Structure 1
Amino acid sequence: MNAPLGGGDPTDIHRRIAAALADLVTDTPGVPPHPYLSRHLAQHAARGQVLDDVHVPPALLAWDTSASVRRLLHGQDAPHQRQEWLQTWAALEPFARDITPASRLTSLHLAHHAATCRRTPASAPAARAAELSGSRVTALWSDCSPPDNVWSITDTAVTSLAAVTTPGEGALVSGDDHGVVRMWRKDGTAAATPLNMHEGAVTHLLPLSPGRLATAGTDGTVAVLDIHHNRRLATVHRRARTWVTSLALYRPPRAPHVLLAAHSDGYIAVLDAETYRPVDLPLPSRDNAPVLLAIVHQRDDAPLLLCAQGETISVFDGRATFIHARQGSRVRALAALPEPGRYAVGDDAGNLTLYDTARPSREAVRAAVPPGDALSRLSAVTVDGQPLLLSASTDGTVRRWNTTTALPVGDPLRGHTAAINAMALLPGQTGTRLITAGADHTLRSWLLAAETARPPRPRWRPVTAAALAGTPAPEPPPFFAVASGATTRLFNIRTGDQWTLWKDSGVTALTWIQNDAQLLLAAAMSDNSIRLTDPAGPKGSAGTRHLTGHYAPVLALETVPLPDRTILASASGDGSVRLWDLETEQALAVFDDHKFSVRALASAQTSDGPLLASGGSDGNARLWDPLRRTPHRDAIRCAQYNVNALAFVPAASGAATAQLATAGQDGTVKVWDIRSGHPAKAVAHRDFGDGPLTAVTSFPHPGKRTVVAAAGRSAIHLWDVTLDVVLLQIAVGRSLSSLASRTDPRALGPATVITATGGAGTMVFRLDHELL
């Protein structure tokens, strides 16, 4: 920094500052940088238009405390070429806000490996280059879709969105399923204190006069919010025992604007948009069914009110009503299009139809929506002068349509892992952004102009099951089975070889069975059967056997070693647990004590001999004696709503297992004494604040300690049960369906291999105990 910085172009000054500061960043990510670097280096690079991996080195990212990297990337005029680490961190950043630097380093390492070394063996040079000093893990295998376009994450599910104008800039308002309304800045940060507006979910948000916003909810109430002062003005309408199904701002002929609030019983309230007093308007009578509203303008700018109820769409011109169209099933979404008199309709059957009020409904244009793509929201926008219709789906995707031809425009916008609840359009200097809110508790941002032009992304099919081969001496085989869609593949994670086992059926669970000298793969198939395959044996039906008996999908499989053989256990949505003899292919026992679906299984050698544990939607964990084929004890009532996963907790001292960990829908992991059925005497409860826990595993740690790893909505949490300390939180930005752990005999010191499986992919990594 010896060069003078006074005078000259401010951009050039910031560029030189960024270059000088980058030289001060240590090459060791585990060493904290100077606070000025962590606070300001990324900002200097952004202002100097050199926001790249050279000026903001990877060693700094996990320590960055500036305005977030992802917001700085969103604000740049044009992307740079060298942003591999920055883009990786930007995708992960919303999920890593409140974790330690060691956890952030580890999360960044795994995310970068997943982004750059897909299906690459750990011994390959690319994988070695991706190693990050300071990480607590060694990545062995990755095949994941990274978190995409995350704008913010929320504790509750956002159910409505609206763009509003505030002093100085635009903003976004959201309503959630708890009745809370929040204001957001354009960079995704909170702009004001949340307000409790409704006693149910906020179903609709509608900007009124400048500075005011109407809110409506499932409590049947319409309220008004003062945006500038972030305060509730009044409740202007209430209709008991109904919910508000639509809001609209309509101007009758030769009259001031009115606020329309449609209800689930077909009633439409009409309020003066300024005074909020009731107004008489000759609206048509409605059936006792929910109503959807939209406003379209004719060529002379005269407004028409659209009312959709059931399968029928009616048009009100201020004086009379006429039926314009009928769908084949109930109308689910209704939106006005930019062109005069035109509107779009989505129905329960998945149809998307474009109508013109000036033409007969038989001339409507229907879009070719993919089968099974249930529409949840519709919205219209003009991008670069081109009118577009946006459709959000229950599968978490957004599609764009030409409003004249109803043909698709570009590729679907994929990112959400659950249904999209709401959409809003946020204008900005770089173009219009689409903000979407999903049931996965994320808000995502899409720059529509850039999204239309950029090349298609690889399509990631949700992973439904995965299993890493077991641990026979002297070391485990490197086979990794992954089921995605109707295809099940086998990977060798040491060589990179892969081959397809079958591609004719979906799989809901996988496990490996070491039976004598034979290694078998057990797969739960979509036809409720269990397929046993020897990957090294003959191909085709000659090398495959089937176990049948369940009458609902099998949700979990587990091997149970007995003194003289290994048997297989299966848990099903039919509420039963079955034990299978692999030689005779017959069921040894059927346990149907669970009242609802059985979601999880685990087995272990305990002081009472081999035991099998099961957990299910009835909220109970049960223990079974596979030798005697009887229940081991009464049910453990876990009080966690659904028991989503469970694992036996190994004793670090080498003694036989005596504890069981359960992961619940309430977001807690609990540890139980399997003899008494009561919580373990040590600390036996932990809430990570990461939503429902969906997977759990456990392993011993040197020093007579035990670690439980549990997966929540966005991270893997490693909890030292003995000391009641959270050791590590690995942000992955997605929920996981399973976690598995095993000792790694190839490691130089004590280490555990973790296999993590989720809908967005799989990863395998080694955890070095000495680094915890």
Structure 2
Amino acid sequence: MSAIDHILPNQKLGLLTEWSAEDAGESALASWGWSLSNDPEAGRHWRPRARGVSTDAERGFRFRGRAAALQVIVDWITKTHDERRVLVVTGSPGVGKSAVLGRIVTTADAGMADALPSDDGAVRAPVGSVACAVHARGKTASEVAREIAAAASAQLPERIDDLAPHLRAALAGRDPAIIFSIVIDALDEAVTPREARTIMRRVAWPLAETCADLGVRVVVGTRRNDDEGSLLSTLGSDAVVVDLDTNEYFSEGDLVAYALATLQLLGDERPDNPYEDTHAAASTAEQIAIMSQGNFLVAGLVARAHGMHDHQQVPLEELSFTPTVAAALETYLQQLPEVDGVSAKDVLTALAYAETPGLPVDLWRIVIAALSGRAPAEQQLRSFARSSAANFLLETSTTPSPTSVFRLFHQALNDALLAGGSRNIAEDEAVIAEALMRHGRSAGWHSAPPYLLRSLPQHASRGGVVNSLLIDPQYVLHADLRRLVRAASAAATEEGRTLVRLLRKTPRALDVTPSIRVALLSLTETFDALGATYRTCDVPSPYRAVWSVLLPQQEETVLEGHTRPLTAVSTVRVGQRNLIATASEDHTVRIWDPETGEHLRTLISGAEPVSAMTALPIGGERDLLATAELGHDQKCWVVRVWEPESGALVRTIEEFTGQVSAIASVSNGDRTLLALVSDDHGVRIYDTESGTAVKAFNGHTDWVNAVASVIYDGRVFLATASDDGTVWVWDFESGDHLNTFSGHVGRVNAVTGVSSGDRMFLATAGDDETVRIWDLSTGANDYTLSGHTGPVNALVELSLGGRTFLATVSDDETVRIWDPVTWTLTAVLKGHAGWVNAISTVPAGDRTLIATGGADRTLHLWDPENRLHSQNKEGHIGAVHKVRAICTSSRTFIATASSDETVRLWDPETGQAVHVFDSVGHVRALSTVHTSHQTLLAITGGDSSTKLWDPETATQIFSLGSHVGAVNALAAVSLGGRTFLVTASSDNTVRIWDPETGDQVRSLEGHEAPVTALTTVSLGGHTFLVTASSDNTVRIWDPETGDQVRSLEGHEAPVTALTTVSLGGHTFLVTASSDNTVRIWDPETGDQVRTLHDRVSGVVDLATVQLGERTLLATACDDRTVRIWNCDSGRFLLDIPVRHEPKAIDAIQGLLFVGTTGGIIALSLASEMAGFDQQPYNG
């Protein structure tokens, strides 16, 4: 650098290498990365609020007082302390929360501090003491997190939970005495109530909790409540609250001073203002302050109206107003001029109906016209918005531009304009919604303003016209489905309710493009007989469902995402919503919205699966979530307590040496305790706040499997179920053992309380396939419920229509519902594909759903009062495990084989059944073989033989000889101008048969394990036979000589399927294996050309699909999807969710046929598939 200084002596570049950020001083360092002058919210929010005015265009400094609250905040952000909590500034609407925080933020800025009037004596924040200020109105938690990270020059977080570690990394090495203070205002006005809570729990609290040692301080401004309940309870004891409504932080002198400054329009004075003389105006200001009853917004409205319009001081005896925002606003608006013939009140009322973030001017005009009958000219409306009289009430989201969005600056103004008795809110919302719908349709929903796609459903729902949106497929394809589904939950017509079911059953449609959305909706329509709107609409899509014949689905919806069996299901309350938590052997806990089916977040547990889970009620409005798992050291069991909405880990309890099998919450007075049972034969009770054990219950002689608390007759009882075949009942308060229930044969898996009339029962479930009902008072086994055909694993009390029922789940794959009045079975719900071991009930709107999970890795939601949503035409009554396209001389069929021991032939275009082959046994393979005079259908059954049928007449022709093992695959091969049939068997051999005589022609031996798949390949004009085996190899044979030509090795597990594909005039082999790979081979050289990795699922079958000049590959995967690949590049194109586990696929004429555990599905693929936007496959 000295050499450079020598060359460029005047630039003094060497000084730069000697400078560090610390040289700028503590104040500059504290605000590193953020400054008020560069903050776009400075002019929209911070500066006007701090000055006591509404817009930056209005001159003057009118902020007064609030000394006590300001001093608490200043101390919080400047002093070193050990508080790992969030300082929350709250109060009622109009009390001045934003003004107080604006004062802190702006006085911490050197430029603003210098600009304060000389007589400004209010409390100030030290210059540089605010490192970052975020106005949360209309923002998401992710946006808030990124603003904070940018302020610290930290790496921008891709996930919200990355903010705290990124901030620690950026601040590491700094002197912790240098405070990094963060101010977040208007939390309650975040884009949604859910995002507000996410900001609180996943942004504000983790920063305060984990970064306090680096000088991070967090201050949040918010109302106490929003539409979903308490916001302060989101933090609970993790918050220190400054409530501006309390006497501790209110001084009437502050309000008098503010009213006086506003009366005088300080900084923006008008000539001849009768209140210019401070002494003369003081009494008026004092009277306004007294009558405003502590509300700064009311005082400001009243004082501003008098300051702007009075020509002489109003006599004190004539100064009269109702001390509400509504009354003060009404008086204020009466003095504003009309806007192009529309009253100012009507103009602003249109904004009172607006959803966050507000209305662009074109939509504002439409809403005004809908409410008043006249739309003001755009220019006059913009001029009104900029006027000093109106901008006191308005807030603009951007600097003036064609895209500006307008809203009322304070929620209290919205409330006031809509609270008047003269307005019919529902009628207004209906006309607003209809006007906005007309506008959206005329322009086309594909180009509609974002406001219409996001917020129109709320208007339509409140106006009772949401059906008009539901029946508009173009709107559904472009809308924010989360909002539409929630808003449409009260659809008034059967058509509307059907469409809501369609959307609820298609949770994958939430975050995809219209082209993918129409494809997904067409699937659900076909699966559940919910119409044909999306199967037939003209929106291009990569695929459509054509037809399906499936077993009836009784579920409301099936939610997918876990990759291992579920271990627990629990309902958790978050504000006014009920969410579902699922725990799995895949080491995760997932949180779901039952109304939309949306997967909200994933909680990553430790190194072992979660074995137990329960909700922990906190206060009256929210739950925490407790999970149990084996710790990292494989010795100690761990209970983690989570905040389910944010995903934040609240605390960890570690000390259990036994394996935890169940946990449950116990309400004991105003405390929520945690009961834990394990293989140590006992029950332990923990305080969830401190994590300490408070009591224990012992007595069982074997592993305890379940625990439940029951409140009856004012007492709390604890019930435990054990491998020792007994259920014990305890008095929770005294710890006394009250009773032992014996009767089950074998282990008892579950216990719960069930009320019936004025009696309380205990219901218990066991491995003996029974549910037993015990009188809690007497201990008598009053009833034994039989019907399950496997161990009963879990049960829950269920409330429907004001009555109580009992729901149970079992290894027999069913959910059963019992009436506790008669103790008879009222319903059997089928849909799971494996044992079911977890159940919970969840309120969803005005319905109660049942949530269940188990071996099939899915969460099933059932509406027990509306059980059958789909009943398709008659078909197989078992899984379809083989599918084959059959072309005869006269027509094409699709042949399917099922576990119901039938083979059916279908019309590929319509799905109509053509023939049924009864009593064919367990079919392992299907194929066609062309003889000299007809086409036959070859079917292999469970007796190791192969039978030939006439597909036109469904009659059997004859049977071929048998292998000594099951026949797994069939293929036809042409030799010497004739067609022969090839069979592959579990006896490790391949045999060639003459279909005309039934004679065996040749046997091919060489595989060292069962042969699983067959195909043929033409090379150099000669036909070869290709076989796949459980010995992990693929072999190529000359069928004329029986010689093995080549062996293809590379798979690391049994090869399950194979096919051929033609690319660029060359034929390749494609193989699928249990090693979760699909491999493409050159059969001439034996070289592996490409590997397609499907890391999350096994591939069970393959098919090539010819679409014009393009050849695609379809893979049937055991995660309930069919995936489509580009064979040339190996690129994944898209996945098709087929709801049931696919077992077989075949394709013909651009149609793809999928046999699944639920039946048969026909799909049409688009030739231009690669042009569609598909979310990336993360396999």
TM over 0.5: yes
Shift of 1:722: 1.7
Tell me which residue corresponds to 1:121. none
Tell me which residue corresponds to 2:1111. 706
Q: Evaluate the alpha carbon distance shift between residue 510 and residue 376 of structure 1 in structure 2; reply closer, same or farther with a 3 A threshold.
A: farther
Matches of 2:740 and 2:1011, distance apart in 1 = 50
Matches of 2:613 and 2:1072, distance apart in 1 = 40
**One-letter amino acid of the structure 1 residue matched with residue 818 of structure 2:** W
Shift of 1:283: 1.0
Q: Evaluate the alpha carbon distance shift between residue 384 and residue 608 of structure 1 in structure 2; reply closer, same or farther with a 3 A threshold.
A: same
- In structure 1, the gaps of 5 or more residues are 119-125, 745-751
Matches of 1:360 and 1:348, distance apart in 2 = 21
Matches of 1:175 and 1:138, distance apart in 2 = 33
> Is 1:71–1:187's contact at 8 Å kept on the other side of the alignment?
yes
Matches of 1:336 and 1:598, distance apart in 2 = 54
Q: Evaluate the alpha carbon distance shift between residue 86 and residue 500 of structure 1 in structure 2; reply closer, same or farther with a 3 A threshold.
A: same
Shift of 1:225: 1.1
Shift of 1:430: 0.7
The answer as to 2:464 corresponding to 1:49 is yes
Q: Evaluate the alpha carbon distance shift between residue 70 and residue 498 of structure 1 in structure 2; reply closer, same or farther with a 3 A threshold.
A: farther
Matches of 2:1001 and 2:456, distance apart in 1 = 64
Tell me which residue corresponds to 2:477. 62
Q: Evaluate the alpha carbon distance shift between residue 231 and residue 103 of structure 1 in structure 2; reply closer, same or farther with a 3 A threshold.
A: closer
Q: Evaluate the alpha carbon distance shift between residue 53 and residue 710 of structure 1 in structure 2; reply closer, same or farther with a 3 A threshold.
A: farther
**One-letter amino acid of the structure 1 residue matched with residue 1081 of structure 2:** W
Matches of 1:455 and 1:103, distance apart in 2 = 24
Of 817, 820, 825 in structure 2, the residue corresponding to residue 408 of structure 1 is: 825
Matches of 2:670 and 2:544, distance apart in 1 = 69
Of 860, 863, 883 in structure 2, the residue corresponding to residue 444 of structure 1 is: 860
Shift of 1:736: 1.8
Q: Evaluate the alpha carbon distance shift between residue 183 and residue 231 of structure 1 in structure 2; reply closer, same or farther with a 3 A threshold.
A: same
> Is 1:33–1:60's contact at 8 Å kept on the other side of the alignment?
no
Of 641, 645, 658 in structure 1, the residue corresponding to residue 1057 of structure 2 is: 645
Q: Evaluate the alpha carbon distance shift between residue 445 and residue 366 of structure 1 in structure 2; reply closer, same or farther with a 3 A threshold.
A: closer
The total of aligned residue pairs comes to: 732
> Is 1:425–1:433's contact at 8 Å kept on the other side of the alignment?
yes
The answer as to 2:727 corresponding to 1:308 is no
> Is 1:181–1:196's contact at 8 Å kept on the other side of the alignment?
yes
Of 762, 785, 808 in structure 2, the residue corresponding to residue 343 of structure 1 is: 762
Q: Evaluate the alpha carbon distance shift between residue 675 and residue 404 of structure 1 in structure 2; reply closer, same or farther with a 3 A threshold.
A: farther
3-state DSSP class of the match of 1:658?
A: strand
The answer as to 2:569 corresponding to 1:154 is no
Matches of 2:933 and 2:694, distance apart in 1 = 82
| Residues 726-737 of structure 1 aligned to structure 2 (within 5 Å) | 726-737=1132-1143
RMSD over aligned CA atoms reads 4.3
> Is 1:221–1:238's contact at 8 Å kept on the other side of the alignment?
yes
Shift of 1:635: 4.5
The superposition leaves residues 586-619 of structure 1 with CA deviations (integer Å, 9 ceiling, x where unpaired) of 5943657355x66544433345843444556665
**One-letter amino acid of the structure 2 residue matched with residue 153 of structure 1:** E
3-state DSSP class of the match of 1:444?
A: strand
Q: TM-score scaled to structure 1, two decimals?
A: 0.80
| Residues 26-175 of structure 1 aligned to structure 2 (within 5 Å) | 32-34=446-448, 36=450, 38-40=453-455, 42-52=457-467, 56-67=471-482, 69-73=484-488, 75-76=489-490, 78=492, 80-82=494-496, 87-92=501-506, 94-97=507-510, 100-113=513-526, 115-116=528-529, 130=536, 132-136=538-542, 141-144=547-550, 148-150=555-557, 152-157=559-564, 158-175=566-583
Matches of 1:280 and 1:765, distance apart in 2 = 60
**One-letter amino acid of the structure 1 residue matched with residue 584 of structure 2:** D
Q: Evaluate the alpha carbon distance shift between residue 129 and residue 390 of structure 1 in structure 2; reply closer, same or farther with a 3 A threshold.
A: closer
Matches of 2:1113 and 2:860, distance apart in 1 = 32
The answer as to 2:604 corresponding to 1:196 is yes
Structure number with the higher strand fraction is 1
> Is 1:70–1:87's contact at 8 Å kept on the other side of the alignment?
no
The superposition leaves residues 568-594 of structure 1 with CA deviations (integer Å, 9 ceiling, x where unpaired) of 44556x474543524336594365735
The superposition leaves residues 371-422 of structure 1 with CA deviations (integer Å, 9 ceiling, x where unpaired) of 4x55443222222232211122446542211234332224x33444444343
Structure number with the higher helix fraction is 2
Matches of 2:1092 and 2:599, distance apart in 1 = 35
Deviates further, 268-277 or 732-741: 268-277
**One-letter amino acid of the structure 2 residue matched with residue 659 of structure 1:** L
Matches of 2:906 and 2:898, distance apart in 1 = 11
Shift of 1:708: 1.3
3-state DSSP class of the match of 2:474?
A: helix
3-state DSSP class of the match of 2:824?
A: coil
> Is 1:95–1:714's contact at 8 Å kept on the other side of the alignment?
no
The answer as to 2:1068 corresponding to 1:658 is yes
The superposition leaves residues 11-36 of structure 1 with CA deviations (integer Å, 9 ceiling, x where unpaired) of 4444445545555677999x945354
| Higher relative contact order structure (alpha carbons within 8 Å, sequence separation ≥ 6) | 1
Deviates further, 268-277 or 396-405: 268-277
Shift of 1:648: 1.8
Tell me which residue corresponds to 1:489. 904
Q: Whose Rg is larger?
A: 2
| Residues 578-589 of structure 1 aligned to structure 2 (within 5 Å) | 578-581=990-993, 582=995, 583-584=997-998, 586=1000, 588-589=1002-1003
Tell me which residue corresponds to 1:673. 1082
**One-letter amino acid of the structure 2 residue matched with residue 80 of structure 1:** E
3-state DSSP class of the match of 1:405?
A: coil
3-state DSSP class of the match of 1:517?
A: coil
The superposition leaves residues 705-757 of structure 1 with CA deviations (integer Å, 9 ceiling, x where unpaired) of 53212234344332222244444544433432122123x3xxxxxxx332222
Tell me which residue corresponds to 1:292. 706
Shift of 1:163: 1.9
**One-letter amino acid of the structure 2 residue matched with residue 696 of structure 1:** L
> Is 1:223–1:236's contact at 8 Å kept on the other side of the alignment?
yes
Tell me which residue corresponds to 1:225. 641
Of 215, 225, 232 in structure 1, the residue corresponding to residue 627 of structure 2 is: 215
Shift of 1:213: 3.4
The answer as to 2:800 corresponding to 1:389 is no
The answer as to 2:419 corresponding to 1:4 is no
**One-letter amino acid of the structure 1 residue matched with residue 879 of structure 2:** V
Matches of 2:546 and 2:594, distance apart in 1 = 38
Q: TM-score scaled to structure 2, two decimals?
A: 0.55
- In structure 2, the gaps of 5 or more residues are 1-365, 373-422, 1171-1179
Q: Evaluate the alpha carbon distance shift between residue 465 and residue 355 of structure 1 in structure 2; reply closer, same or farther with a 3 A threshold.
A: same
> Is 2:794–2:808's contact at 8 Å kept on the other side of the alignment?
yes
Shift of 1:508: 4.4
Shift of 1:96: 4.1
**One-letter amino acid of the structure 1 residue matched with residue 906 of structure 2:** F
The answer as to 2:1168 corresponding to 1:757 is no
Of 174, 177, 180 in structure 1, the residue corresponding to residue 585 of structure 2 is: 177
Tell me which residue corresponds to 2:841. 425
Matches of 1:455 and 1:286, distance apart in 2 = 47
Matches of 1:199 and 1:293, distance apart in 2 = 25
**One-letter amino acid of the structure 2 residue matched with residue 406 of structure 1:** W
Matches of 1:550 and 1:117, distance apart in 2 = 48
> Is 1:324–1:357's contact at 8 Å kept on the other side of the alignment?
no
